[in-house]
Structure 1
């Protein structure tokens, strides 16, 4: 009987090519782009079949720990564990740590499936067939990659060339090909036997660790020590900083896949995209009669083959062709779709300027384990925010040295602690929290609590906070 598969979901990336929606504090896997689910939530749902999968392990970084936990809760899926990377060390170290972690829980024979958290995949029957073939092949001692049947000579993907057939029905990997220029991509498609490298693979934990020990011993040792010295924090496992930081910064492709003699490829026909750029979003989206993909608040006139997306202000687009127009709460990007791969360069330029750095890092809406807030207005010595608190959640017991706060309840019921006094606020009621006073906000109800917060004072930064007690184990905001 085949073992269940342990999904390992990589959710720590801070991609920039989908700016301005994707920011370093809220990258593309955690944002709502084309539907009700985020890409991370769609990934969770692909591995939700209990007949095929165990509960997944997610590896992410400190900044995203509550996003991971909350988005899993929203779709009602439990996790086997959340590993927190203390420092970025590319995919080899992260995957090695996950392999050691799951071995402790499921044994060395466990079959793991590595998935990116930010890919768009149609998980239909062809996907299920590819998974079953990959598991069958992995159980014979292979590290299985999923090769996507190309639909065009794409230059933004790496390629895999298939070799001899294996008894399982998969193929040996003959070689990996770096992202090619256009003419080479066309030649490979014409020749046949080449596939896009999806970055998804499957193998036993014991084989992966033995290959790491042989080809990347520094990665192996660093990950082993980081897991052995990991600290449990609420539902998270914090990998040991010093151990993990000693790992080389190297991808699993370079560390293992291009060196091992045990690589296999499963040719896969299921629709797949890494959504790595705005042109990829346009290709995947549902188009109108003019070839436009229009998402959110927008009106389009005399425009062709374009992507128009707004999460806030209403966009009116007229007389354009082959462009992307993307509006977030505080920035608008306009560019040609055929230059969408270059957005990362633009983001680097924005990040290099003090005046625009924040546009690459945070959104006006920030999410916290208790809900979040949207910055509505900021001026000299004042700031206005909309707070939203999930049912049953509470903020930390805290105080501020440099600001006072005025709270107005606009939806739901709030339980507010100020010093030794507990007060209940209902819609249209308000109160004042003096500078330096201990206070706490709690939503005792069953619906989202919404508050308007007016801050006044000499300094309004998020770091002006002293937490006395916090159920989420945070020391800072």
Structure 2
């Protein structure tokens, strides 16, 4: 049995002000079709698992109602709620322990809730191949995306020797590089983007946690013996990502290269990749521009208007009661603004 686990606890702060604390990025609808990012992700994965019964979602305590609104067919017992955020390692272990309790021979997949896939058929083929490899081997499998430009916002995976058809050992992981390093990586043809998608037998990942992160595995495994006990263990858990805790330290990590039109929609610049047409600007909603080029303009209100004059390479967003104006090369800094808002009693409601 294949159990996909969707990680839906993120805050999506770099998509502020459209993404807010009350409605993070995974619950937004950014394309035509009317389906939110988490709904489209669930659609893709439920086809692989044979329905919603094997699909699980890990989310934050204050996002429980959003998940149920967007995924009304998700069984309640498949919604795993974290009382406090402890990064991806704890979230993934929560899912693995829950799956192992009912199906210790299962294959588990881990998928962010807010990524975009252009070619669902190619996606399904890659994930099916990864499932087959996991059933036959003890490897921890990550999906590496063939890079199409020298991105500095993604981590990179260096390909090692091939150990099976289309499966390579991971030579090393590299965190977000600078532009020169990213260009050098692409020139070699031996590097992939780290997608944050994983496949493994549930026993394989549990063994990795027990061996490499006993300070996380111990209290969670003990708490898992009691139904509902995992939630109680959370406040004392260490905060660490699965990349640092497991993937960069384990010896049995492999990568499957893939190309199915992937984008992690990390910040407002993603709209340019998503919606760029023949014009010089990307616009959503009512906009008027004069001598403006390379701009991304987005307004949610039907009665709101964005007007720009003499601007280049900027993002202008009007969402509710907030207007954002930022240079396109500074969108990664939007998180800092949101953090400032959260610290201010007078401004916290805008976060």
Q: TM-score range by the shorter chain?
A: over 0.9
Give the 3-state SS of the residue equivalent to 1:240 in structure 2: helix
Contact residue 119 and residue 274 of structure 1 kept, 8 A: yes
Q: Deviations over 1:422-462 (max 9, x none)?
A: xxxxxxxxxxxxxxxxxxxxxxxxxxxxxxxxxxxxxxxxx
Question: 2:266 maps to which residue?
Answer: 276
For residues 325 and 250 of structure 1, the distance between their equivalents in structure 2, rounded to whole angstroms, comes to 34
> Is residue 124 of structure 2 the alignment partner of residue 128 of structure 1?
yes
Question: 1:294 maps to which residue?
Answer: 283
Q: How does 1:109-258 map to 2 (within 5 A)?
A: 109-139=105-135, 140-231=137-228, 239-241=230-232, 243-258=233-248
Relative contact order higher in (CA < 8 Å, ≥ 6 apart): 2
- Distance change >3 Å, CA 122–CA 228, structure 1 → 2: farther
Q: Deviations over 1:160-193 (max 9, x none)?
A: 0110101243111111111111111111111121
For residues 67 and 59 of structure 2, the distance between their equivalents in structure 1, rounded to whole angstroms, comes to 8
Write 1 or 2 for the structure with the bigger share of strand. 1
Give the 3-state SS of the residue equivalent to 1:326 in structure 2: strand
Q: Given the two structures, how large is their TM-score scaled by the length of structure 1?
A: 0.69
1:40 to 31, 38, 41: 38
Shift of 1:51: 6.3
**Bigger radius of gyration among the two:** 1
For residues 2 and 284 of structure 2, the distance between their equivalents in structure 1, rounded to whole angstroms, comes to 36
Question: 1:309 maps to which residue?
Answer: 298
Question: 1:72 maps to which residue?
Answer: 71
Question: 1:350 maps to which residue?
Answer: 341
Tell me, which stretches of 5 or more residues in structure 2 are unaligned? none
Q: Given the two structures, how large is their TM-score scaled by the length of structure 2?
A: 0.93
For residues 337 and 183 of structure 1, the distance between their equivalents in structure 2, rounded to whole angstroms, comes to 19
- Distance change >3 Å, CA 149–CA 77, structure 1 → 2: same
Shift of 1:129: 2.1
Shift of 1:8: 0.3
Tell me, which stretches of 5 or more residues in structure 1 are unaligned? 232-237, 361-477
Write 1 or 2 for the structure with the bigger share of helix. 2
